[in-house]
A and B are shown apart, each in its own frame.
Chain A
Amino acid sequence: MNSTPPVDDEPLQSPDEALALIREQQRSVEREQLGGVPWILGVWAVAWGLGFLALWSGYDGGNPWFQLPLPLAGSIFGALLVAAIVTSAVVGARIGRGVRGDSAFSGAIYGVSWVVGSAAVFVTGIALSRAGADGALLSLYYPAAYALVAGLIYLMGAALWRSLDQLVLGVIIAVVGAVAPLFGAPTNNLVMAVLGGGAFLVAAIVMRVSLSRRAR
């Protein structure tokens, strides 16, 4: 890509050339490291958008156009979620590859937070179920609790990497998680699909566009 002469040992011609070289190289590093992030966001947009639409179509009183058997809707949701988790883990692990030190520590904490947060949501759900929460109540709890965890982790990411994208996404996801249950089941799933999935989709497109703009 960068067709440099074999040695490149000569002094640069001008300060403009030097500044341009710095800028170009640092952008290329950024693109190389962050190029996978829009894909992570895109996969989550699909998982939330289609997954919650499937759930919404699985309950009575949900999708007015067609209904899916609930086990099928649940399986679609689960499969999309697993695919998104695997993609995020694989692509995410590639972002900081070859780099060790302080930022690798931050990255590891960020990764572990997802596991701890998701596990906590799951275990609390089991506790609620044992305490007598029925399916309708749990179908409000799970998306809301998971969205709150996800939103807060994005806010942590925003603080760690001073990322405005993650700040906006984190606030939206946390708010969607908190507001969705107010619509009651199963409409909360539609809210999650449209607003949550929509937020991921917009974030993916914005990030993709800003990375390719920086390429110029």
Chain B
Amino acid sequence: MTDLDPVIHAAARLRITATLASLEPGDRITFPRLQELLDMTAGNLSTHLRKLEEAEYVAVEKSHQGRTPVTFVTLTRRGRRAFEDYTDALRAVLGGEE
């Protein structure tokens, strides 16, 4: 358990990362839709996204659709790799099940 990535190894951020990792690489998702898929409050999601962004696992990009501001969230390559390393580490700890 010692070398599990502490950024991902917390329930909320693990669920966020798992959700973003289930999108195709190169896809980004709007903040409200991500919030819907996670069933989290906007405040809580923002807080955790900030931590993931600080680790450069997640990129948050603000743009406009017409006049409406839209926030897109995407897993960076670094984030996707970290998630894969993390799940590999979990499976290794569990004795190579699956």
The interface of chain A, by Cβ under 8 A from chain B, is 1-2, 4, 6-12, 14-16, 18-19, 21-22, 25-26, 28-30, 32, 97-104
Q: Does B77 contact A (CB under 8 A)?
A: no
Given A19-B87, A29-B37, A101–B44 Cβ distance below 8 Å?
no
Per-residue CB contact flags for chain B residues 83-94 toward chain A (1 = under 8 Å, else 0) read: 000010011011
Min CB distance B55 to A, Å, is 14
Which B residues from 22 to 59 make CB contacts under 8 A with A? 22-30, 32-34, 36-41, 44, 47-48
Min CB distance B35 to A, Å, is 10
User: In chain A, what residue has the closest Cβ to B15?
Assistant: A25
Contact B39 A9 (CB under 8 A): no
Cα A12 to Cα B4 in complex, Å, equals 10
Measured between beta carbons, the chain B residues less than 8 angstroms from A98 are 29-30, 32-34, 36
Question: Which of B12, B19, B36, B47 is A26 in contact with, Cβ under 8 Å?
Answer: B19
The count of chain B contact residues (Cβ–Cβ below 8 Å) is: 41
Q: Does B6 contact A (CB under 8 A)?
A: yes
Contact B1 A25 (CB under 8 A): no
Contact B14 A22 (CB under 8 A): yes
Contact A9 B18 (CB under 8 A): no
User: In chain A, what residue has the closest Cβ to B63?
Assistant: A100
Contact B18 A99 (CB under 8 A): no
User: In chain B, what residue has the closest Cβ to A21?
Assistant: B14
Contact B94 A8 (CB under 8 A): no
Contact A18 B26 (CB under 8 A): no
Contact B90 A19 (CB under 8 A): yes
Cα A14 to Cα B93 in complex, Å, equals 10
Contact A104 B33 (CB under 8 A): no
Measured between beta carbons, the chain A residues less than 8 angstroms from B94 are 15-16, 19
Cα A15 to Cα B89 in complex, Å, equals 9
Measured between beta carbons, the chain B residues less than 8 angstroms from A2 are 15, 38-39
Cα A16 to Cα B90 in complex, Å, equals 8
Q: Taking A8-B11, A15-B1, A21-B15 as given, write out 10 further A-B residue pairs in contact, using a Cβ cutoff of 8 Å, ordered by the A residue number.
A: A2-B38, A2-B39, A8-B12, A22-B18, A25-B14, A25-B19, A25-B38, A28-B37, A98-B33, A103-B23
Min CB distance A8 to B, Å, is 3
Contact A12 B91 (CB under 8 A): no
User: In chain A, what residue has the closest Cβ to B33?
Assistant: A98
User: In chain B, what residue has the closest Cβ to A97?
Assistant: B33
Contact A7 B12 (CB under 8 A): yes
Cα A133 to Cα B95 in complex, Å, equals 68
Contact B44 A7 (CB under 8 A): yes
Contact A103 B27 (CB under 8 A): yes
Contact B14 A102 (CB under 8 A): no
Measured between beta carbons, the chain A residues less than 8 angstroms from B41 are 6
Contact A11 B6 (CB under 8 A): yes
Cα A135 to Cα B40 in complex, Å, equals 59
